[in-house]
Amino acid sequence: MDRTGRPEKALRQALLALERGEVVALFPHGKIHLDSEPPLKIKGGVARLATWSQAEIYRVRITGVKGEGKVALAPFIPSQVQLIMHKPLSFEATEMKACLAEITKAILAEAKIKT
């Protein structure tokens, strides 16, 4: 999804994809966020999509990447990567600020556990 300069266009494209039953993958921080980096604010797009579409949010944590933070090199370094699935979050008719607060709380709790 191209979000350069027009984030609302990217959100509309993502909403249409969700309405077609497709899966939309988002980085809630707006980029790949490493555990070694200071906490970043969760972007509002994930909450907007959740409240607009009523789609569940399936949170996935990626661990075990040996080349963490090295985008070009990481795929070539042998790793024992794991995808950890967390319980989905649902937001039926929830106000966007409340939705964003709950998503932020869940992500911060998962980062502290580092399962």
Sequence ranges of the domains in the chain: 7-113
User: Residue 77, Cβ neighbours under 10 Å: how many?
Assistant: 11
The pLDDT profile of the chain, 115 residues, written as one tens digit per residue, is 555 677 788 889 999 999 999 999 888 887 777 777 787 888 888 888 988 898 899 988 888 888 877 778 888 888 888 888 888 988 876 788 888 998 888 888 876 655 4
Say whether pTM exceeds 0.75. Answer: no
Kindly state the tokens that stand for 77. Answer: 């370094």
